[in-house]
Chains A and B, each alone.
Chain A
């Protein structure tokens, strides 16, 4: 009896390890930016339907995770929502779309526009009430992103801030979490991907993108270069891509997915 039990166990492990070997065929893992993930999920669905037997796993995280996982071999392709830095030249990036970063507030907030100085003032804790920037008497809840998110890096860069200068009341991870927090707190301010924000706004979430220095944050304005605070959305691999990864990147850059990019409020390159 004991022997049978042990044999069964061994069998299970052999089966598991066999599936390890067998499974490494038509499989692709992508990790990284939570901005790009919803887009890639849709692209992957279309790719899978054209390539039966292929399975694409998409995990969200942050851009740094995308880079990290590709370097460690945990992912085949990383999703990075910014240009590569000088220290990341061991990887190669493939541009699939462009996106902007916009300031969002609760839908009921009467403020329509903020200047760069006002945003710096709010984020560094010098301005603490919406009254001071022409709104109603409501304390400001500053929502900041956690370390490792490219949106945070670009935001700091754009306003020449350091993260230690920011005085936040809530720290969030994903874009979606930021939008959920802003929609739940009347006096909140946050910054997220314009694509994600427009998508949520159109689906009835009570948030609102507001203009910065008079520039209106829409994907259309990003496309026409009328909104400065924009960034690249990249797929990143080690060395040059081969096989399935190469095919997938080519597919994501092709015209065949242009409609998906626009449906997600991003800008085709």
Chain B
């Protein structure tokens, strides 16, 4: 929000302005430093790939055996995507349904308690979910298909973690839809279900989408909870009961022991993760802009 008049020169103001500008520049510098350092530290790996002409090797399946100089990240990338997608598939319908219940069916007292519970759970640390998954979910799956630590366990734990985020943001999105739309629906004699599914949800979809993206970023970047329950074998997941290793878990597992090209390759996978988040926010920016333009008709 800009100041209306630029006048009234005041020494304190000037000093404050300068100071804040320096602070901001410092912060910007620090944050740029993050990307620069990631590039600097992964440079030996990137350039040696470039020179040996095996630039895209990491995309092909050749396994992750740093000691044999084989750095195939594709299985872990795929595992990351599979875990994230799986968690969303489980959490999205359930979360959305809870939001609808919260907004249209629950009486105020129940709604408040429900909301409080969701907020509390959104604040529970991921390592606690990991601990719970390791001691409850994994043994349960192991009874059926040993060893239990698997893609399925990771998906279940992650979906539980993103559920509160999806439910809370969707509920907020539904609440922000103008009441007139709903009244119009009632006046037309629509059923409750039709009102919700065909008026309220479409009107709120751009904000719901924002919440889903938030959840996606969280699921993609989650490290500890997944590391604790996924089994950490580097392989293309062939089924839900196969153990997998995701990109973030790989960094956490190997970072402190890695040297040379191996260490650089882990920084490279950090860069890859950052790029994926960047793509995600770019996509969301595009979609929400289009959504806003089309909003009048939707």
Interface string of B230-249 (1 = CB under 8 A from A): 01111000000001010000
The answer to whether A147 and B146 touch across the interface, beta carbons within 8 angstroms, is no
Interface string of A28-44 (1 = CB under 8 A from B): 00000000000000000
Interface of B with A (CB < 8 Å)?
Answer: 63, 65-68, 70, 139, 142, 146-149, 231-234, 243, 245, 253-254, 256-259, 262-263
User: Given A148-B258, A169-B147, A171-B245, 19 other A-B contacts at CB below 8 A?
Assistant: A62-B257, A65-B256, A68-B263, A144-B233, A153-B67, A162-B68, A163-B68, A168-B233, A169-B231, A170-B232, A170-B233, A170-B243, A171-B231, A172-B232, A181-B147, A184-B139, A185-B148, A186-B146, A188-B147
- Chain A residues whose C-beta falls within 8 Å of the C-beta of B256 in the assembled complex: 61-62, 65
Cα of A172 to Cα of B147 in the assembled complex, Å: 13
CB closest chain-A residue, reference B259: A68
| Total residue contacts A-B, CB cutoff 8 A | 76
The answer to whether B67 and A146 touch across the interface, beta carbons within 8 angstroms, is no
* A141 interface residue per 8 A CB criterion: yes
Cα of A164 to Cα of B233 in the assembled complex, Å: 12
The answer to whether A147 and B231 touch across the interface, beta carbons within 8 angstroms, is no
The A interface, classified by DSSP as helix, strand, loop or mixed, is: mixed
> Could you name 20 residue pairs across A and B whose Cβ atoms are closer than 8 Å?
A62-B256, A65-B257, A139-B146, A141-B147, A144-B233, A146-B232, A146-B257, A147-B67, A147-B257, A148-B262, A164-B65, A164-B68, A164-B70, A168-B233, A169-B231, A170-B149, A170-B232, A171-B243, A173-B253, A186-B146
Out of A148, A164, A170, A188, which one reaches B257, CB within 8 Å?
A148
Q: Interface size (A, Cβ < 8 Å)?
A: 30
The answer to whether B259 and A164 touch across the interface, beta carbons within 8 angstroms, is no
Interface of A with B (CB < 8 Å)?
Answer: 61-65, 67-68, 139, 141, 144, 146-149, 153, 162-164, 168-173, 181, 184-188
